[in-house]
Structures are given as structure tokens and as C-alpha cells.
């Protein structure tokens, strides 16, 4: 089911953080040139194909990851073995923060759309943040952002009818893109995000298509009728 890609397979090379095209929005955004000089351990960069696993719940966390592009799901498993997706990680997000407090990873992180990440060794982040208040503050910000996101999943994506949940998920997916287009996920994943079955997810998407709330331009690539989806989402 899950493709077996090891890290070394996927390694692209060493990142040049100073010249990073995402500098503005990344954890290290506020570091200065002198700080980067302290980065003796190089920051590795990887490209991960769809279906590969970045880390697993329970693994000892030694690195956190900045996502440069792509989408990952954070998955937790229920006692009965079914999966529940608790968050999506996208461009400029950080995942694996928990290792800075010495925890093992709390989720499986699985690639939904091809993903590029930079691997930040905990030690590096830890030592930089000790000397650098800006980085330190940014860490807290990230944590708060994750928490906000978790709350939103509960209130928006796990409450109300299937139609409402699907509509809210769609709106959430385009919000960051500024355009009315979005790439959807496998129906099974949508179900696991919304707490509904695969079939209900499929039926709902199909119905939205019939009502022209969605227009499929490519496989799983859609243009959205945002105003009407809003109507459904809030109804």
C-alpha cells in the first residue's frame, strides 16, 4: 500500500538556507547571516513521492521538517485500525515540532502530493533557538498555528452534515491558493479527514459535480464555485 522509499533514495542534496526561496515564510525567516554561520551541520533536502512516509508515529524524533512544496497528511490510528487524518501539512508549514520537547512523533506523516522537505535536526534548532529570540518566538508561533488548525478541523471538518464538511474542506483547500482551483485527494483520504465513509465522500463530490459546484479540469483537479460552496458550508 505505502510505497517504500527510503530517505537516502530521495535525498536531493544540501539546502542553502541563506538563499532559500522561501526565506520569508520559513522557520528561519528571522535569522541573520551570522546565525547561518553556526549551521555547521548541513540541512538536507528531500523529494518524496506520493504515498511515501516521512516518519511514523512512535519513531524517535530527531528532525523536524519544513515543507517546501506538496502536501502531507498526519494520520493517527484508532484501536480498531481505522485511520483518522488530523491535519494537512503544506508549503511553508513545519511538521515534527514535537521532537523539540523530546517526544516521539505523534502521527504517521504520509505524502499526498509530491513533496519537497528540508530536514532540520532537533539539535540545530534547539541550539539556534537558545541564542536567537526571533527563532524562538517563531517556534511558539508555529505551535500555536498547529493548535489553531487542530481546533478548526474539529469545528469545521468534524461538525455538521457530510455536505457541509466536504464544502468546508474544499474552501479550506483553496483559501491558500487565492484561486478557485484545487487538487483533490483520494476519496478514502477525504473520508478520513471528515469522519465520513469513502462512499459518502464520493457521493457528495459526485453530487457537487452534477450541481456544477465543481468543474473537473483534470483528474482530481477542480474549479470551485466558491460563493455557492460557502452557502452550503454555512447553511
Partner DNA sequence: CGCGTTCTTGAGATTGGTCAATAGATGTGG
Partner DNA sequence: CCACATCTATTGACCAATCTCAAGAACGCG
Minimum Å gap between C-beta 159 and a second copy is 5
Closer Cβ to a second copy, 97 or 118, answer by number? 97
Instruction: Give the contacts of 39 (CB within 8 A, at least 6 positions apart).
Output: 17, 124, 128
Closer Cβ to a second copy, 10 or 196, answer by number? 196
Task: Answer with the entry of DNA, a second copy, none that 211 interacts with (C-beta below 5 to 8 A by kind).
Answer: none
Q: Sign of the C-alpha dihedral, residues 211, 212, 218, 221?
A: negative
Minimum Å gap between C-beta 209 and DNA is 7
Minimum Å gap between C-beta 128 and DNA is 40
The β-bridge partners of 181 are 223
Q: Sign of the C-alpha dihedral, residues 112, 116, 121, 125?
A: negative
Stretch 124-143 residues interacting with a second copy (CB under 8 A)? 130, 133, 137, 139-141, 143
Distance of CA 10 to the CA centre of its chain: 19
Query: Phi-psi category of 27—alpha, beta or left, where left has phi over 0 and alpha has psi -120 to 50?
Result: alpha
The β-bridge partners of 218 are 221
Task: Answer with the entry of DNA, a second copy, none that 203 interacts with (C-beta below 5 to 8 A by kind).
Answer: DNA
- Point out which residues bind a second copy (CB under 8 A): 76, 78-80, 82, 84, 86, 97-98, 100-101, 103, 106-107, 130, 133, 137, 139-141, 143-144, 146-148, 150-151, 153-156, 158-160, 195, 233-235
Amino acid at each position: 500500500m505505502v510505497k517504500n522509499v527510503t530517505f537516502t533514495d530521495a535525498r536531493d542534496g544540501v539546502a542553502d538556507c541563506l538563499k532559500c526561496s522561501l526565506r520569508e515564510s520559513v522557520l528561519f525567516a528571522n535569522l541573520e547571516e551570522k546565525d547561518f554561520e553556526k549551521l555547521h551541520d548541513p540541512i538536507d533536502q528531500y523529494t518524496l513521492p506520493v504515498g511515501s512516509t516521512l516518519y511514523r508515529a512512535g519513531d524517535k524524533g530527531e528532525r523536524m521538517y519544513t515543507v517546501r512544496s506538496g502536501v502531507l497528511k498526519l494520520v493517527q490510528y484508532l484501536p480498531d485500525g481505522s485511520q483518522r487524518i488530523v491535519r494537512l501539512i503544506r508549503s511553508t508549514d513545519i511538521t515534527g515540532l514535537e521532537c523539540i520537547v523530546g517526544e516521539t512523533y505523534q502521527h504517521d506523516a504520509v505524502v499526498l502530493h509530491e513533496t519537497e522537505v528540508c530536514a532540520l535536526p532537533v539539535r540545530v534548532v534547539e541550539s539556534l533557538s537558545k541564542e536567537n529570540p526571533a527563532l524562538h518566538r517563531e517556534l511558539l508561533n508555529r505551535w500555536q498555528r498547529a493548535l489553531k488548525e487542530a481546533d478548526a478541523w474539529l469545528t469545521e471538518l468534524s461538525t455538521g452534515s457530510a455536505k457541509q464538511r466536504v464544502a468546508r474542506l474544499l474552501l479550506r483547500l483553496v483559501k491558500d491558493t487565492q484561486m478557485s482551483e484545487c487538487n483533490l485527494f483520494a476519496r478514502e483520504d477525504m473520508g478520513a479527514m471528515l469522519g465520513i465513509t469513502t462512499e459518502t465522500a464520493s457521493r457528495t463530490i459526485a453530487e457537487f459535480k452534477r450541481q456544477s459546484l465543481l468543474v473537473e479540469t483534470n483528474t482530481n483537479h477542480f474549479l470551485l464555485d466558491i460563493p455557492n460552496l460557502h452557502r452550503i458550508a454555512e447553511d
